[in-house]
Amino acid sequence: MENTEQSPASLLYEGKTLKHADWVTTKILNPFVWRCPNQSIEKLYKERISTNHLEVGVGTGFWLKYTLESGSRLALLDASQEALDHAGAALERHRPEKYLADVSKPLRETLDSGDSFESLALTCLFHLIPGNLELKAAKILDNLLPYVSADGSVFGATILGADIRRPLLAVPVMNYGYKKEMLWNKNDTLGDIMEVLSARFRVFNVEVQGCVVLFWGKGLKEGYSRSLSQ
């Protein structure tokens, strides 16, 4: 397994914070700060997840506990070994494969070149990674799409920070996150994620709930390169 560098944002899913992450996220942040109902995220998973699924940026594995069918193949990929172990234990009945890797880098040494997943989730990942949303999302997707079937579904959610009316409580929470380098979404816009999706998928959709955009894309565009070669 490769070594991965950890940022302050990754510490949100380490130690004591990992232990309480589900409660803080679903009881406080989603409903009252980001104003994104938990039901909306769960609905996205139920509609888009398959029985051959790759979860990237696993957090605690919370949504998978309620949406993944028994007997499914599940692969977990994250830059944090602690998050992988925590989510893996929570999802033990699915006997998940666990991969330690940085998705901003090519994954040749992590995933089998012949692997093909029917669904890929990137939930609450992009806003934890430094950089422009369009650039970082494009890079991450281009590293992952070679491992998604041509008609597979890619979905997720990310917190937007610009060109959107932010809920009242979101403003101080985001500002604190920027100061502590735990959030990297200050300039992230809806247009950024739409550009990334429209360039790669025949069909895609975005839905804004509060300051969160829920997104999905399906069916790689004709001519889009899925080659592992750079």
DSSP string covering 84-150, please?
HHHHHHHTGGG--EEEE--TTS--TTTS-TT--EEEEEEES-GGGS-S-HHHHHHHHHHHHGGGEEE
Average pLDDT estimate for 95-111:
96
Cross-strand bridge partners of residue 121: 55, 155
In 151-170, which positions are buried (b, 16+ CB within 10 angstroms) versus exposed (e)? ebbbbbbbbbbeebebbeeb
Say if residue 202's pLDDT is above 60: yes
Average pLDDT estimate for 6-14:
52
Enumerate residues 6+ apart whose C-beta is below 8 A from 204: 194, 197, 198, 215, 216, 217, 218
Residues 38-88 have pLDDT tens digits of 999 999 999 999 999 999 999 999 999 999 999 999 999 999 999 999 999
Residue 105 vs residue 6, higher pLDDT: 105
Q: Give the separation between CA 55 and CA 133, rounded to whole angstroms.
A: 19
Q: What is the pLDDT of residue 229?
A: 39
Say if residue 5's pLDDT is above 60: no
Positive or negative: CA dihedral 59, 22, 85, 98: negative
**pLDDT category of residue 16 using cuts at 50, 70 and 90:** low
Maximum alpha-carbon separation in the chain: 47
Residue 156 vs residue 19, higher pLDDT: 156
State the pTM of this model.
0.91
* Residue among 64, 193, 174, 179 at smallest CA distance from 126: 193
Say if residue 227's pLDDT is above 70: no
Helix axes 133-144 and 190-200, enclosed angle (nearest 10): 30
Residue 230 vs residue 221, higher pLDDT: 221
Say if residue 215's pLDDT is above 50: yes
Residues 170-191 have pLDDT tens digits of 999 999 999 999 999 999 999 9
Say if residue 13's pLDDT is above 60: no
Say if residue 18's pLDDT is above 90: no
**Is 193 strand, coil or helix?**
helix
Q: What is the pLDDT of residue 14?
A: 59
Superfamily of domain 8-219: Vaccinia Virus protein VP39 (3.40.50.150)
Let me know how long the chain is: 230
Residues 113-167 have pLDDT tens digits of 888 999 999 999 999 999 999 999 999 999 999 999 999 999 999 999 999 999 9
Q: What DSSP designation does 53 have? A: E
